[in-house]
């Protein structure tokens, strides 16, 4: 197979940005697109008008609606479909993926039905013997800035250090710095929990609670993130890095964040049904909240912000009441 033949599965904003990044580096990239409208925009105009307007794809990008074309004879395949679609799409893709192909998961989320991480889900699909060829990409990135070649840094975690380094070499560019990590669990959990905390930060800002409140939410959100990740077997230091604190700060503070935007809308009095009906795609944090809430209860992990976000999104609780309940919890040590 060609040394720099890459398949990107998922033509949302993130998949399109990674396609542009790698094509600009000289790789031959095949981008799989599910939606007919986006597919025709990409083919006819070389632009993803729905998800990444203003970014033109170079000639060395092939756009396809065939999973066989996107997955066959590739050095590297990147998963960039939403978490709820990963099992369906990759179960269909798996039979055409070569044993030596590297697989990088850039999707942040848990499977709703099983609460599995994307790593556990891919293990189900490809089998335990294939996991040594898998990596997991996470960090503080907005797709549009990556596509515009603005500086960004991310982490790729893998079960095998040599695989992590190989993926690092393929993905790194002068504007996209990739670090490696052995902590597959920590890198994944950071990318899940930050989405829920970002909704909370949006609610806080939307209610006009001030900068102190947002800083407290981010910090206590990091504590919840770390608590869950460590319970699942992660290294606490991972969550102090790019896939944890870095991603949490970005997603909770900038209006480019879809999850933060959901929080702002809730603070304005919009219902979840109204918010989701008006959007082409649902922010991952909306689904993540339900999955995280169930996972935390199953594993006996105290996650009060996640609990309150679950009650606001799915229990009809008023945002102001959720804030009051968080502030009036029993007093304790910060490190408890």
270-291 pLDDT, tens digit each: 999 999 887 777 789 999 999 9
pLDDT in tens, 163-212: 999 999 999 999 999 999 999 999 999 999 999 999 999 999 999 999 99
- Whole-model pTM over 0.85: yes
Give yes or no for a contact between 152 and 106, defined as CB atoms under 8 angstroms apart.
no
Among 194, 279, 317, 332, which one carries the catalytic annotation? 194
Across the chain, mean pLDDT equals: 96
Written as six digits, the tokens of 14 are: 């993130």
- Residue ranges of the chain that CATH labels 3.40.50.720: 5-182
pLDDT of 2 reads 56
Active site residue 25: no
Residue 40 burial (CB count, 10 A): 13
pLDDT of 282 reads 76
Q: DSSP for 42-83, please give it.
A: HHHHSEETTTEEEEEPPTTEEEES-HHHHHTT-SEEEE-S-G
Burial class (CB in 10 A: 0-12, 13-18, 19+), 69: middle
Superfamily holding 5-182: NAD(P)-binding Rossmann-like Domain (3.40.50.720)
Kind of pairing between the strands at 76-79 and 5-9: parallel
In CATH terms, 185-327 corresponds, of 3.20.20.70, 1.10.1040.10, 3.40.630.30, 3.40.50.970, to: 1.10.1040.10
CA–CA separation, 251 and 253 (whole Å): 6
For range 252-276, the mean pLDDT: 94
- Residue ranges of the chain that CATH labels 1.10.1040.10: 185-327
pLDDT of 123 reads 96
For range 315-322, the mean pLDDT: 96
Under 8 Å CB-to-CB from 242, ≥6 apart: which residues? 138, 139, 140, 153, 154, 155, 179
pLDDT in tens, 1-15: 556 899 999 999 999
pLDDT of 3 reads 61
Considering only CA atoms, which of 225, 231, 234 is closest in space to residue 192?
Answer: 225
275-288 b/e (C-beta count within 10 Å ≥ 16 → b): beeeeeebbbbbbb
Place of tokens 């502030």: 327
For range 228-232, the mean pLDDT: 98
Q: Where are the alpha helices (DSSP H) in the chain?
A: 13-24, 36-45, 67-71, 86-93, 118-126, 143-147, 161-171, 184-206, 211-231, 247-253, 258-267, 272-277, 284-299, 304-314, 319-327
């Amino acid at each position: 197979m060609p040394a720099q033949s890459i398949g990107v599965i998922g033509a949302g904003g993130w998949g399109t940005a990674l396609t542009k990044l790698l094509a600009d580096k000289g790789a031959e990239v095949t981008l799989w697109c599910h939606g007919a409208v986006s597919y025709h925009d990409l083919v006819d105009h070389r632009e993803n008008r729905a998800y990444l307007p203003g970014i033109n794809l170079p000639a060395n990008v092939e756009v396809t609606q065939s999973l066989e074309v996107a997955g066959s004879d590739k050095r590297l395949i990147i998963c960039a479909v939403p978490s709820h679609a990963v099992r369906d799409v990759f179960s269909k893709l798996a039979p055409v993926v070569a044993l030596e192909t590297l697989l990088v998961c850039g999707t942040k989320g848990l499977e709703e039905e099983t609460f599995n991480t994307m790593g556990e889900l891919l293990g189900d699909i490809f089998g335990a013997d294939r996991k040594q060829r898998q990596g997991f990409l996470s960090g503080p990135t907005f797709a549009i800035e990556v596509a515009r070649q603005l500086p960004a840094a991310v982490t790729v975690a893998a079960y095998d250090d040599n695989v992590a380094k190989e993926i690092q070499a393929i993905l790194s560019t002068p504007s996209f710095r990739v670090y490696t990590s052995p902590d597959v669990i920590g890198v994944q959990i950071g990318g899940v929990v930050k989405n829920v905390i970002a909704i909370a930060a949006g609610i806080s800002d939307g209610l006009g609670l001030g900068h102190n409140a947002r800083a407290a939410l981010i910090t206590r959100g990091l504590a919840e993130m770390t608590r869950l990740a460590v319970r699942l077997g992660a290294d606490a230091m991972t969550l102090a890095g790019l896939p944890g604190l870095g991603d949490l700060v970005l997603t909770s503070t900038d209006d480019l964040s879809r999850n933060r935007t959901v929080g702002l809308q809730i603070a304005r009095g919009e219902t979840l049904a109204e918010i989701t009906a008006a959007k082409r795609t649902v922010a991952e944090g909306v689904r993540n909240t339900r999955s995280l809430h169930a996972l935390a209860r199953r594993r006996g992990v105290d996650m009060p912000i996640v609990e309150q976000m679950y009650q606001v999104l799915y229990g009809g609780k008023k945002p102001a009441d959720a804030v009051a309940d968080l502030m009036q919890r029993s007093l304790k040590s910060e490190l408890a």
